[in-house]
Amino acid sequence: MTKTDAERFRKEAEECRQMAARAINPADRDGWLKLADDWIKLASEAERKERL
């Protein structure tokens, strides 16, 4: 079974959250969390398009 774009994007978001958890610098952590949010938004958009 192949992953959908949404699944891949959610995996990227999870990896960003893991990087944020390991970040020592608060600015780095915030950057990783922002990237995770962006990946989640892309996943939501991909899911909407997949339903069409």
Q: How far is CA 41 from CA 23, 25, 29, 35, 37, in A?
A: 22, 25, 19, 10, 6
Range of the domain at 39: 5-51
Q: What is this structure's pTM? A: 0.90
Query: Are the C-beta atoms of 7 and 47 separated by less than 8 Å?
Result: no
Count: domains in the chain: 1
Distance CA 23, CA 9 (A): 21
pLDDT digits (tens, 9 = 90+) for 3-50: 899 999 999 999 999 999 999 999 999 999 999 999 999 999 999 998
Q: Residue 2 has what pLDDT?
A: 64
The answer, yes or no, to whether residue 51 has pLDDT greater than 90, is no
